[in-house]
Structure 1
């Protein structure tokens, strides 16, 4: 069946949680839950007749209700950090919760990825063989401390050629910050395979945004040449990681000029599975899960460096750096963004 729906548990107030499955004719599957609109599984062929689940997640609703690891999470209203947990728009200062020292991280602690979203469309198969579903969340005025309401639609679409597309559209009722991303952790050797440090990574990035000890950007756009952040030629993810305290948690400056272009390729060293990232976002956060400690699907323990996130986004703390692209939207000017994860494998 190209699309399926099954029970996935319940919220603490008794509301039912669902898991939606999209499948193409090659057997590739993407599973999404309406709890947080989280990406729960991506199962792809490895070229040896097997299928491999390449993203970290949980087996049911209880894990996603307390998703401290952010597995597969859809992050809003602002992904990443805002310094001082406050910002100014149009002469008004807005205060957010400080949940990462003095700063705001992923707009917590009232995270979008721990809320039940509504099914707006699908799951259904299209005439071209692709299948899709759309989830909706209405973020009320003042939610998480941000001005105005925000009506958010996220469409997951799986294509016959192995592309998984995430399309965001968010309509604000007032001028506000909108910076949305998917915080999936990838392990292309399989979600239970352990460290990803032998994966290979290529990034189409000449610059990155250096940050302070609390991962707040300094405002500089620095050249990657001669640094551990140079992935312009494919290299093993762990080659230079020990030169970066705690591992990579770094924003890279993309060169796509707000067009959907290929910006990254990640390759599993054991499976031969590769994943290309295409996006129109201005930045990409490379996070090698240096602080990961969680039990995932099948009771597997995921520890340090057992997954890698490639989060397409506006730059961290962009609102405080006017030389960064600005994540500010207003009525009549919706946030629209598209990211594609395209999968394939080396011939075996």
Structure 2
């Protein structure tokens, strides 16, 4: 039986970003340096396949520092942690390695600098997301106000409308964030913004590739985890950019083939914490069912690389 034809559009950039790459490397190098077990506070990155792979190598994932013994190294996830966490690790004389993405650390430094200048902080982010928790935890309780939507801006109570600054979670939708920033500027004309956009290059690049790809596609799949903020934003961006069917899948087994019946074109991308092996698995699944013609939709070339902390580059 002949397979139906399908044009498969592959977004570039897609998948791993430099911060995720560095965080995974940090866990692997820590296991090499100190042996198993190495503890990791929170999932190192939001991807089950990656986390399970590191667990098999001897990483132990916990939610809180209190679950870690004093005598084993602990790694803080790429999303960043409140200041209280490294302080608690120091108080217990623990070996710890901070795998916070340098672009998240930049936001932490920014928040602290604004606070030192007497400004109250407003954070644009998602409540409960580890990155938001970590950034808000850089300053004392109450010093950072969270807004998630333009509507939230109307109801926040600030100390002094003339002494405000804002930062954002790095994995948000560029378009959604622009709407919230506009609402902040309308209500607080003197609010101070970041020198350079807080939304990271990888998030922006992946969203731009989806915007270019989505109008060509009958359907679009984002390979990523349901707890991955940047992956979920890609699904939303795809739907908004004109793709009627835009869905998140963790692996090829999650594809709803009935929903894709009769399609002539599919777009495939992946969140920043999804490895290429899972993307290839999805592509192969389409190759088994369709006569696939592949087209790359490339909107940027990434060559960013972040160094791992010095403690891991030193010999045992």
Query: What TM-score does the superposition give when structure 2 sets the normalisation length?
Result: 0.23
Query: What TM-score does the superposition give when structure 1 sets the normalisation length?
Result: 0.22
Higher RCO, 1 or 2 (CA under 8 Å, sep at least 6)? 2
